[in-house]
Homo-oligomer: A and B are copies of this chain.
């Protein structure tokens, strides 16, 4: 298997799912569908739906019942970026080299496009109840995870503390809390939902939650490292922004060497956990490893 070819193939598959689940741009409210598409189709690694699909396969999941949830998790990730970029939040005019949603559509539509994506994520996931192949109890469990991990005990909770504590130094404990909620929660959600819809049992779903947490932390710490060591061209965003904003990061907290070691260690632990399960191929393992060495 050529990993990078396989990854591109899977990314293209995910993009086609996203496109399929986007609402057609029509009606008096057409502009909101356009803003949703603009933000959702802006590129990106598609890591969350990719992890969801791979975990679904890991537990022998078959068919297309996972697809609405793959679209839903990416919609939730995207809405969080759209609202995060707003003037009252990070006030960013560019993301991935393109103008942010509120710059193109106006601040009011930026707020509404984020709301629309979050709501449409649930609307999309709820289409699972119309699919005869999907057990409604499993769909209900998946929805509970989707909602919980995106909310105040997950992503929003992390976002709140990040916003509240910005502009001054924070403790390592607080930083850890922010990373676990802001970044790990959606990755845990992706892997847990993949497992649930494939019919995995409770212990298996818990194992995926733990793996997701480690991957999320490693991913976020690698982000901190890249802000110090990366270059603007690879990243598509300015570097040294944390230093400029006097932000506490994993690198300022533990130093660059220790941060690198921790990314490697957490990834290794995640891979070790993963090997307890009988994967159909080594794509998922390679994907996790690739996140350590990533330059963007």
Contact = CB atoms under 8 A, between A and B. Distances in A.
Contacts of A31: 160, 164
B129 A140 contact: yes
Contacts of A5: none
B156 A32 contact: yes
B156 A144 contact: no
Would you call the interface of chain A mostly helix, strand, loop, or mixed?
Answer: helix
Interface string A112-148: 1011101110110011111000001101110110011
A23 interface: yes
A89 interface: yes
A149 to B, nearest CB: 10
Contact of A119 (B128, B144, B151): B151
Interface size class of A (residues with CB under 8 A): 35 or more
25 contacts: A23-B153, A28-B177, A29-B156, A29-B157, A31-B164, A33-B152, A79-B115, A83-B112, A86-B111, A87-B88, A112-B163, A115-B156, A118-B118, A118-B119, A119-B152, A120-B151, A123-B144, A123-B147, A123-B148, A127-B144, A129-B140, A129-B143, A129-B144, A136-B136, A140-B140
Interface of A: 23, 27-29, 31-33, 36, 79, 83, 86-89, 106-112, 114-116, 118-120, 122-123, 126-130, 136-137, 139-141, 143-144, 147-148, 150-153, 156-161, 163-164, 174, 177, 181
Given A29-B152, A116-B160, A123-B148, 15 more contacts: A28-B174, A29-B157, A83-B115, A89-B108, A89-B111, A115-B156, A120-B151, A120-B152, A123-B151, A126-B144, A129-B144, A130-B144, A136-B136, A136-B140, A143-B143
